[in-house]
Amino acid sequence: MEDIATSSLFIILGVLILLSAYFSSSETGMMSINRYRLKHLENEGHKGALRVQKLLQRPDRLIGLILIGNNLVNIAAASIATIVCLRLFGDVWGLAIANFGLTFVILIFAEVTPKTLAALYPEKISFPSSVILLPLMVVLYPFVYLINGICNGLLAIFRIKPVNDDGKSLSREELRTVVHEAGSMIPKKHQDMLVGILDLEKVSAEDIMVPRSDIVAIDINDEWKAIQKQLVNAQHTKVLLYRDSIDDAVGFVHVRDALRLLSKDQFTKASLLRAVREIYFTPESTPLHTLMYKFQAAKERIGLVVNEYGDIQGLVTLEDILEEIIGDFTTSFLPDHSKEANLQQDGSVLIDGSANIRELNKELDWQFPTEGPKTLNGLILEYLEDIPEANISLRLAGYPIEVLEMKDNRVKTVRVIPEFYRNEEINSSE
């Protein structure tokens, strides 16, 4: 009879250890589940996700419920293990074996193993366990409420609220990390586009504009034949018209409209000026995401960038903004073939002084500072605090730079030795 009772106690002890493993795995699974995937499954009507989301609305109550069940089960298991060991090994050895033996068994089978499994497969553990936890929450709610009331009172002393949504939102940098960590789930090109959208707020119109000196425009006071020739040979769909100086800009004319007038033999300066469209102006500090919305609201695709004094500093188009998101449409700073950067056989790179620093850094993986001047010419002039002469050398941001050509007090062409080429030369010399 005593053997049957002992066997029954062993069975009960095994069941209690399984229950302890259930509560331990449920706790880890619930806390480890991906909240954003859970929200996605909830929106699709997944029943398990709906149950888990309901439990996680108050994590303090969920933890209280699991710990109540886990502790009750562990205490009951300890009591039964003690009784069994006392019967089998006596008073002295029984207590020692019960304490150390049960601790070892619970650690292996009821704590480490189930929690590791739940951490690896949180959804497979959480969804089925929620079937039991939800009704259990109803049954044990008075005890959960009492314990949570005491615990929340202690937390209130430290001004901590049990319901906190701060961790459910992602910052821009955290979202950037999520995009990069997506790996093969999101193609590399799509990752770059998503990151480009996140970066729009950090980039202003000044960063991407065509500098004033590079704007293709037509002086309306030029001879009529010269104006016609420039319109016929125009490489842009819209051309800026001005009088004597770009600061006296008249407006943009669509080349298609001008050529249509030309085909009808109605093409004069007066008719050309009537075809001019109003200029859209934007401050140079306007963030790109704001500028894109303003372009959309005004139904514009091109605008002039002005500084705080109203002087025209450059030109920006909707295409420039889109290129920040999806990359260049037609050209890019390829190391071996580019209008503004050309790779030489010795590893150096010839660069036009008007090249945009942000584009150089992005396309060539360089580290020139972007907080100040926007072009390489401006960066060199700011560093030297003077207008340099040709054939002088300097080290800027760790890169050896040689000024090869000057034109109109501007750096026309420079030679840059990239960091990795410089390191290879140093290593080979050693």
pLDDT in tens, 361-374: 877 888 888 888 88
Q: Which whole number is the average pLDDT over 268-292?
A: 89
Q: Which whole number is the average pLDDT over 380-387?
A: 89
pLDDT confidence tier of residue 69, bands split at 50, 70 and 90: very high
356 and 396 inside one domain = yes
pLDDT confidence tier of residue 291, bands split at 50, 70 and 90: very high
pLDDT confidence tier of residue 231, bands split at 50, 70 and 90: confident
pLDDT confidence tier of residue 97, bands split at 50, 70 and 90: confident
**pLDDT at 160 exceeding the cut of 90:** no
Q: What is the mean pLDDT of the chain?
A: 83
* Domain with 143 in it: 2-163
411 and 282 inside one domain = no
Q: Which whole number is the average pLDDT over 300-322?
A: 91
pLDDT of residue 342: 82
Q: What is the 3-state secondary structure (H, E, C) of the chain?
A: CHHHHHHHHHHHHHHHHHHHHHHHHHHHHHHHCCHHHHHHHHHCCCHHHHHHHHHHCCHHHHHHHHHHHHHHHHHHHHHHHHHHHHHHHHHHHHHHHHHHHHHHHHHHHHHHHHHHHHHHCHHHHHHHHHHHHHHHHHHCHHHHHHHHHHHHHHHHHCCCCCCCCHHHCCCHHHHHHHHHHCHHHCCHHHHHHHHHHHHHHHCEHHHHCEEHHHCCEEECCCCHHHHHHHHHCCCCCEEEEEECEEEEEEEEEEHHHHHHHHHCCCCCHHHHHHCCECCCEEECCCEHHHHHHHHHHHCCCEEEEECCCCCEEEEEEHHHHHHHHHCCCCCCCECCECCCEEECCCCCEEEECCCEHHHHHHHHCCCCCCCCCCEHHHHHHHHHCCCCCCCEEEEECCEEEEEEEEECCEEEEEEECCHHHHHHHHHHHC
Domain final residue, candidates 295, 326, 357: 326
214 and 194 inside one domain = no
Q: Which whole number is the average pLDDT over 16-33?
A: 93
209 and 143 inside one domain = no
300 and 218 inside one domain = yes
pTM greater than 0.85 (yes/no): no
pLDDT of residue 364: 81
pLDDT of residue 341: 77
What percent of the chain is modeled with pLDDT above 70? 89
157 and 225 inside one domain = no
15 and 144 inside one domain = yes
pLDDT of residue 115: 93
**pLDDT at 337 exceeding the cut of 70:** no
Number of compact structural domains in the chain: 4
108 and 40 inside one domain = yes
Question: Is residue 331 a part of any domain in this protein?
Answer: no
54 and 97 inside one domain = yes
**pLDDT at 238 exceeding the cut of 80:** yes
Q: Which whole number is the average pLDDT over 48-70?
A: 91
Task: Dump pLDDT digits (tens) for 408-417.
Answer: 888 899 998 8
Question: Is residue 289 a part of any domain in this protein?
Answer: yes
Question: Is residue 335 a part of any domain in this protein?
Answer: no
157 and 186 inside one domain = no
**pLDDT at 256 exceeding the cut of 80:** yes
Question: Is residue 225 a part of any domain in this protein?
Answer: yes
CATH number of the domain within which 237 lies: 3.10.580.10
Q: Which whole number is the average pLDDT over 189-211?
A: 85
81 and 119 inside one domain = yes
pLDDT of residue 346: 80
**pLDDT at 174 exceeding the cut of 60:** yes
Which of 321-330, 358-367, 402-411 comes out lowest in average pLDDT? 321-330
Which of 258-272, 282-296, 343-357, 401-415 comes out lowest in average pLDDT? 258-272
Question: Is residue 333 a part of any domain in this protein?
Answer: no
44 and 181 inside one domain = no
pLDDT of residue 334: 43
**pLDDT at 309 exceeding the cut of 70:** yes
CATH number of the domain within which 409 lies: 3.30.465.10
**pLDDT at 133 exceeding the cut of 90:** yes
**pLDDT at 65 exceeding the cut of 60:** yes
Give the best-scoring range by mean pLDDT among 12-26, 85-99, 254-268, 386-400: 12-26
pLDDT of residue 269: 82
pLDDT of residue 122: 93
